[in-house]
Amino acid sequence: MKHVIVITGATGTGKTTVSTYLKTEYQIPRIITHTTRPMRPGEKNGIDYYFETDASFASNHYLESVTYAGYQYGSSYEGLERAFKKSDLVSIVLDTKGAETYFHELKEQAFILFLTVGKTVMLHERLKDRGDQLEMIRSRIKSKEYSRDLTLPEDLRGIATVIQNDDWQQTQERLDEIVLGLQTSSV
Ligand SMILES: Nc1ncnc2c1ncn2[C@@H]1O[C@H](COP(=O)(O)OP(=O)(O)OP(=O)(O)O)[C@@H](O)[C@H]1O
Ligand SMILES: Nc1nc2c(ncn2[C@@H]2O[C@H](COP(=O)(O)O)[C@@H](O)[C@H]2O)c(=O)[nH]1
C-alpha cells in the first residue's frame, strides 16, 4: 500500500529537517505545497514551496488549505499523485489542521508523525538560528496556530506517532525504525 508520512507539529520542531532526512537517507520524496508567504533566504520556488500571489493561490485546486500566521498554505491532489509516481512512500509537512484533514481523507494511507520539543523556549532559538526575521518570529509565536500546534489534536491521539525532537541522533534512530516498519508493511 502507498503511504504518506504526514509530518506535523509546531513551528521550529524540525518538520522540514525530518522531511529532508527522509529524502536524503531513504529517497522518500516530499510533496511540495503552495504558500503566499515570502521566501526565506535560500528557499527556491518549486523546491521548498510553490510560492504564490494571493491571486495565483486562489486559482489552484486544493485537497486542503489553511491560513497560518496570516499567510495561505495549500496542498493539492496533483502534488500527491506526482509524488506517488516517484515512490510508494512519500512525505508532506503540514500544520496540525492539515494533518487532521489528511488523516480523514487518506485514512490508513496516512502515517501521522507529530514532533514536539521538551521546552518550547527552544523553538524561538531554533527559528532565530535558522535566520528567520525577528518580526516574523514574533508574529508567528503570537499566532493562534502556533499555540494550537504545540498540542496533538484530540482526533489524532492514539493514531499519531510522537517524537520529541530534542536530540537529533535519537530522532534519526526513531525515523530509521519507522521507515523500516513502513517499508516492511508495504511489501
Ligand atoms: N533535533 C534538533 N536539534 C537542534 N536543532 C534542530 C533539531 N531539529 C531541527 N533543528 C533546527 O531547527 C530549525 C527549525 O527546523 P525546521 O525548519 O525543520 O522546523 P519546522 O518544524 O519545519 O519549522 P516551520 O514550521 O517554521 O517551517 C532548523 O534550523 C533546524 O536545523
Ligand atoms: N495545512 C497545511 N499546512 C502547511 C502546508 N504547507 C506548509 N504547511 C505548514 O504551515 C506552517 C508554516 O510553514 P512555514 O514553511 O512558513 O514555516 C508549518 O506548520 C507547515 O508545516 C499546506 O499545504 N497545508
Q: Evaluate whether 22 touches 179 at the Cβ level (below 8 Å).
A: yes
C-alpha cell at 145: 496556530
Q: What is the pTM of this model?
A: 0.97
Identify the H or E element spanning 34.
strand 34-35
**Domains (range + CATH), the chain:** 3-31+88-186 (3.40.50.300)
Mean pLDDT of the chain: 96
> Separation of 50 CA from ligand 2 center, angstroms?
12
> What distance in Å separates the CA atoms of residue 38 and residue 71, rounded to the nearest whole number?
9
Pairing type for strands 34-35 and 71-75 reads: antiparallel
Exposure of 37 by Cβ count < 10 A (0-12 exposed, 13-18 middle, 19+ buried)?
A: middle
- State residue 187's pLDDT score: 58
Angle at 161 between CA 98 and CA 24, to 5 degrees: 80
Q: Which ligand is nearest to the CA of 18?
A: 1
> What distance in Å separates the CA atoms of residue 59 and residue 146, rounded to the nearest whole number?
27
Q: Measuring from atom 16 of ligand 1, which residue has the nearest CA?
A: 14
| Residue 47 predicted with pLDDT over 70 | yes
Q: Which ligand is nearest to the CA of 72?
A: 2
> How many residues does the structure list for the chain?
187
Residue in the structure block whose three cell numbers are 490508513 = 108
> What distance in Å separates the CA atoms of residue 103 and residue 157, rounded to the nearest whole number?
12
Q: Which ligand is nearest to the CA of 69?
A: 2
- State residue 185's pLDDT score: 78
> Separation of 93 CA from ligand 2 center, angstroms?
6
Question: pLDDT (tens digit, 9 = 90+) per residue, 111-153?
Answer: 999 999 999 999 999 999 999 999 999 999 999 999 999 999 9
- State residue 41's pLDDT score: 87
Cβ contacts of residue 185 below 8 Å, gap of 6+? 1, 3
Q: Evaluate whether 62 touches 74 at the Cβ level (below 8 Å).
A: yes
The ipTM value here is 0.98
C-alpha cell at 80: 500527491
- State residue 7's pLDDT score: 98
| Mutation to probe ligand 1, out of 126, 145, 164 (largest number of atoms < 8 A from CB) | 126
